[in-house]
Amino acid sequence: MPRVLTVVNILLAVGLLACIGVTAYFAILVLGEAIRAQKLDQFSGLAIGALIAVVGTCLTALASLYTANRQAEVTTSVEKARAIAAADLAALQEVITARLDKFKADSAADLERLKKSLDFHTTAHRELGGSAAMYFYALRSAAIGGFDEAELERAETLMVETSRHLTYVSDSFEDEWLAFWQVAQAIKREAKTLADPVQRSLSVARGMESKDHGKMDLRDRYASLKEKAKREVS
């Protein structure tokens, strides 16, 4: 890790080292004179003590300067680590935000698709149930009030048009709806073979009351289909 030393700190360090060197040099000179004279007078003792004190002060100052530089170095390292951590955190937050935005967008799209699917499902049962009701009551009217071929053809056309909704219903509902249509068509065709309008109405009435192998007549089939359609749209 690089040292955090300013020009001033370097000059101070060099100056303190020079002070220590000069002071030590003079102390050695004084001590050398005393040794040669084989006598340490009071002045020499005081001089050596003062020089040692100066050396100690310079060493203390140098140590303080080193400590300050180390603290500055640690502070710089900590700040750098904080900056890196902050940058990493910001990048992570951006990634998380982007993923959350994508998740929200995907969820919204899925919800919209589900809503459309439910709308198609509801509409399909409503339309298919409605066309079956129109066909049933057209036949009922033909049995009671007189055979109206045009009205029955309109009901037949509506069944053809609404059959496109079979894609959005269950297989069981589709089978039941198609079975109802098949029986209703058979009743209409049988009645159309007769020339007399009264006989046509009687033929429709007999056909609507005729039970199949499942012991269900057209009324039973329509009632079951109507109940299932109501449950799906409610």
Q: Percentage of residues in the chain with pLDDT exceeding 90?
A: 37
How high is the pLDDT of residue 177? 96
How high is the pLDDT of residue 4? 44
The residue ranges of every structural domain in the chain are 7-98, 110-233
When comparing pLDDT for 105 and 220, which is higher? 220
When comparing pLDDT for 17 and 123, which is higher? 123
Q: With cut-offs at 50, 70 and 90, classify the pLDDT of residue 133.
A: very high
Average pLDDT, the chain: 80
Examine the pLDDT at 152 and tell me if it is beyond 90: yes
Contact by Cβ (8 Å): 138, 208: no
Q: CA angle, 222 as apex, 208 and 179 as ends, to 5°?
A: 80
For 159, residues 6+ apart whose C-beta sits below 8 A from its C-beta are 131, 132, 135, 181
The one-character DSSP state at 164 is G
State how far the alpha carbon of 6 is from the alpha carbons of 2, 15, 62, 209, in Å.
12, 14, 15, 109
Task: Report how far Cα 228 is from the mean position of its chain's Cα atoms.
Answer: 37
What are φ and ψ of residue 121, in 5° steps? -60, -50
Examine the pLDDT at 39 and tell me if it is beyond 50: yes
User: Can you tell me the mean pLDDT for 164-176?
Assistant: 93
Task: Report how far Cα 5 is from the mean position of its chain's Cα atoms.
Answer: 51
Q: With cut-offs at 50, 70 and 90, classify the pLDDT of residue 188.
A: very high
User: Can you tell me the mean pLDDT for 184-192?
Assistant: 94
Q: At what angle do helices 218-233 and 197-209 cross, to 10 degrees?
A: 60
User: Can you tell me the mean pLDDT for 9-13?
Assistant: 65
226 sits in the region (left: phi over 0; alpha: psi -120 to 50; else beta) called: alpha
How high is the pLDDT of residue 191? 93
User: Can you tell me the mean pLDDT for 214-232?
Assistant: 88
Which run of H or E residues covers position 52? Answer: helix 42-144
Examine the pLDDT at 12 and tell me if it is beyond 80: no
User: Can you tell me the mean pLDDT for 31-60?
Assistant: 65
Examine the pLDDT at 91 and tell me if it is beyond 60: yes
C-alpha–C-alpha distance, residues 37 and 71, integer Å: 48
Q: Nearest 10 degrees: CA dihedral of 84, 85, 88, 90?
A: -110
